[in-house]
Amino acid sequence: MTLSNEQLQGRCERFLSAQPHMRLLGLRVVAAQPYRVTIELPVQERLYSCEVNTYLHGGVLTTMVDHASSAATLCALEAFELCPTLDLRIDHMARPRQDQPLRVDAECYRVTNSVLFTRATLYQQDRTDRPVAYAIATFMRPGAGHTDPDFKALIEGEAP
């Protein structure tokens, strides 16, 4: 990986900004380095339901982990490729607390010619003692020339 952490973070931030649903959730890139990224969901009152006393219910964590895992693939490839998710599994171990931001550390731990493999940990203040969830996912590489060139330029920061 010849890209610096700053270059990778810029790539991840442009990728996030290009996706309307990510902007809607208010996600932000905390840090990026080769093969790894950390993304944060700030405390969001509108995702708390007082009627049924639940926070981040019904797939918010899945959306977040899908995005973070996808961003981790951006940190594992020299040139941007838009890799669709093949599958994703998430194990939920604790209910998220509504008074703390939620972070996800995602890592692309294996790159092959066709497939990328990722794993991710969701946590709040204490990463090691009490993770909120673990997730693994696989992504399909589209092959050379199959990523839209305008979108590639946008994510690589080369847009006019």
Partner 1 sequence: MTEPLNDVLRQAHEQGEYQPLIDLIPYARIIGVRCERLGDEMIFRLPFNGDNIGNPTIPALHGGVIASFLELTAVFQLMLQQQAPTLPKIIDFSVDYMRAGLAKDTYAMCEVARQGRRVANCSVTAWQGRKREPIATARAHFLLGNG
Interface residues toward partner 1, by CB under 8 A: 18-22, 24, 46-49, 51-54, 56-60, 62-67, 70, 82, 84-92, 95, 148, 150-151
- Packed helices 5-17 and 60-74: angle between N→C axes, nearest 10 degrees: 140
CB 4 to partner 1: min, Å: 26
CB 154 to partner 1: min, Å: 9
- For partner 1, which is the closer residue by CB, 66 or 107? 66
Strands 85-92 and 102-111: unpaired
Report how far apart, in Å, the C-alpha atoms of 115 and of each of 31, 88, 139 are.
24, 13, 6
- For partner 1, which is the closer residue by CB, 1 or 159? 159
CB 51 to partner 1: min, Å: 4
CB 82 to partner 1: min, Å: 7
CA 30 to chain centre: 11
